[in-house]
Structure 1
Amino acid sequence: MAIAVVVLAVAAYQIISVQTSIYSINQNIETTQAKLSDQEKNNDDLKVQVNDLGRYERILQKAKEKGLKLDGDNVKVVDGK
């Protein structure tokens, strides 16, 4: 009878230990997913900002502010792909 109690106690300890490990891993996964979601939102915001800053009108305005002139005969078209 004592051996059965010891075996049962060891089995219960093992089950609790495994459940604790699973809980800890799940917490890490949730934390990582939250960080990933935040980073994806951050990346999307930065893409919008890049598109806004790269508008032709804005670049032309900044060039004029720096004293550059647009010479149609000296323009090369560059494919942005």
Structure 2
Amino acid sequence: MAVFAVSGSVVFLASQFHKRLLSDYMDKFEFEIRSRENVVMKKKVRFAADVVEPSGNNKEYRRRHSFKAKSDKQSKMVATI
């Protein structure tokens, strides 16, 4: 009699585990199908033709722009005071 109880409980647990495993798999599968339908292509960045990449003289570029950024910050600080 104990053998029937143990084997019955093993069968019950196996079926419950199988149901849970199958439902999780189906949820993931449906998610994959839905996500493929809603895929939007990413736009590529295109720069204007007149945009020039900086030459090898990056120090000069940084010097100009850091000076401009510092002057902008100082003018904002003076305006708030």
Largest Rg, 1 or 2: 2
Higher relative contact order (CA 8 A, sep 6+): 2
TM-score, length of structure 2 as denominator length: 0.50
How high is the TM-score relative to the length of structure 1?
A: 0.50
**Greater helix fraction, Structure 1 or Structure 2:** 1
